[in-house]
Structure 1
Amino acid sequence: MKSVFRLLPVLALATVVAPARADEVTDNLDSAKTAYEAGNYSEAITAIDYANQLIRQKKGDEMKKLLPDAPKGWEADEAESEAAATSMLGGGVTAKRSYRRGDSSVTIKIQSDSPMLQATAMMLSNPMFMSSNGAKMETIKGQKVSVSFKAGGDNGEIKAVVDSRYLVEIDGSSLTRDDLVSFAKALEYAKLSALK
């Protein structure tokens, strides 16, 4: 028992003097560096891939925060995020949220770091593609968007490329065009653009 009391001051001092614990990302990057310097390349790659995945998950969590709450009269599911590894379809981070009101439904999806982003950006900037698709270009809250909604229909989609880094897709069914556009107006494009 006396030895326990003798150790208490040492443990208290160690707690005060010890540097703050790094997070899992920096721990894995440090492990990767150590493994690399020791010539253990497989271990270094594994540690870097793990750190990469943790960073993607953190980015997904930040993107989820930017999905709007349900408008009045609508219900919203919890926001979700996925972080795909680079080896899977080129990687990417996705945040999405679904909304319902009776038979009406809307899903907002934000993608980042995806190879699909460049292809979609090229299509959205091509007037010939847009007109053949029936989509119309509009500006909502200072953001250029593509709105596809057939006259007399009740389904549509809105797409936008934000800051050349984020693809926003809003898909709606059994709703009016105004309902669909209201979801595009609820997004905070400036905050999304500021998210690095």
Structure 2
Amino acid sequence: MKTSVATATALALALVSAPLQADPVTDALESALENYEKGDLGMTAARLTEAQKAVVALQGGKLTRFLPEAPDGWSREIDEDANEGMSMVGMGGASAAADYISPEGDHVTLTLDADNPIVTSMASMLGNPQMMAMMGELLEFGDQRMVNQDGEISGLVANRVLIQATGTASEEQMSEILGMMDFDGLAAYDK
């Protein structure tokens, strides 16, 4: 019973502090509170799930802004379904991805995953400099350390955003794209 009161209180506070303009998050939270007040816990849970999904969609959009522009002569194609794909497989968290294609046809797929089980599982390795050194060649982009494992470059930003670069492009080409990233901003991508 204490949990129910705490949940209702949290929902009420969220609604009071929410902007006056409706959006998918506030709409779902308002509906959840209405259903909770009616005693319909099933619909309350469903609406809370909708609110969570809407928040993750917003996070995915914000994460996408950190995919760098294509280098001169290259093209970039944003994967509009990356965030939805992670959600569909039950991974949660936010995702963003883009393919970069050179004039010669080499490509790099850059993936950003945040706040999900994949990040958690990789954190013990990519958050530890000794482990990274055993995994492959260490690369530095300013203060950001990453590791190249047989042509796949990976790194962890602020223990919450996993960066992976894969493809047919050379390490130098991948590094050029990675070097354009705002790692400091990425650490707080959803703020």
What is aligned with 1:137? Answer: 138
More displaced 10-residue stretch of structure 1: 36-45 or 19-28:
19-28
Partner Cα separation in structure 2 for residue 169 and residue 52 of structure 1: 25
Structure 1 unmatched ranges of 5 or more: 1-18, 150-155
What residue number does 1:11 align with? none
Counterpart among 123, 145, 148 of residue 121 in structure 1: 123
Q: Is contact 2:110-2:163 (8 Å) kept?
A: yes
Paired residues in the alignment total 168
Measure the CA separation in 1 of the matches of 2:129 and 2:186: 24
CA drift of 1:20 comes to: 4.5
3-state secondary structure, aligned to 2:179: helix
1:38-58 alpha-carbon deviations (Å, 9 max, x no partner): 210110011010111111111
Q: Could you tell me which residue of structure 2 aligns to residue 61 of structure 1? A: 61
Question: What is the CA–CA distance in structure 1 between the aligned matches of 2:129 and 2:21, rounded to whole Å?
Answer: 50
1:76·1:97 contact (CA, 8 Å) conserved in 2? yes
Q: Normalised by the size of structure 1, how large is the TM-score? A: 0.77
Q: What secondary structure, in the 3-state scheme, does the structure 1 residue paired with 2:39 have?
A: coil
SS of alignment partner, residue 107 of structure 2: strand
Tell me the distance in 2 between the aligned counterparts of 1:25 and 1:112.
20
Structure 1 residues 20 and 114, CA gap change in structure 2 (3 angstroms)? closer
* Higher-Rg member (1/2): 1
Unaligned runs of 5+ residues in structure 2 are 1-18
SS state at 2:112 partner: strand
Aligned counterpart, 1:98:
99
RMSD after superposition: 2.1
Instruction: Report whether the alignment pairs 1:189 with 2:183.
Output: yes
What's 2:4 paired with? none
Task: Indicate if the aligned counterparts of 2:152 and 2:165 stay in contact, CA closer than 8 A.
Answer: yes
Question: 1:153 corresponds to which residue?
Answer: none
Q: Which has the higher contact order (CA 8 A, sep 6+)?
A: 2
Deviation at 1:118, TM superposition (A): 1.6
Tell whether 2:169 aligns with 1:166: no
- Alpha-carbon distance between aligned partners in 2 of 1:71 and 1:148, rounded to the nearest angstrom: 23
Which is strand-richer, 1 or 2? Answer: 1
Q: Give the structure-2-normalised TM-score.
A: 0.79
1:115 Cα shift? 0.4
Q: Which amino acid aligns with 1:42?
A: G
Aligned residue in 2 for 1:76 = 76
| Equivalence for 1:152 | none
Contact 1:157 1:180 in 2 (8 A): no
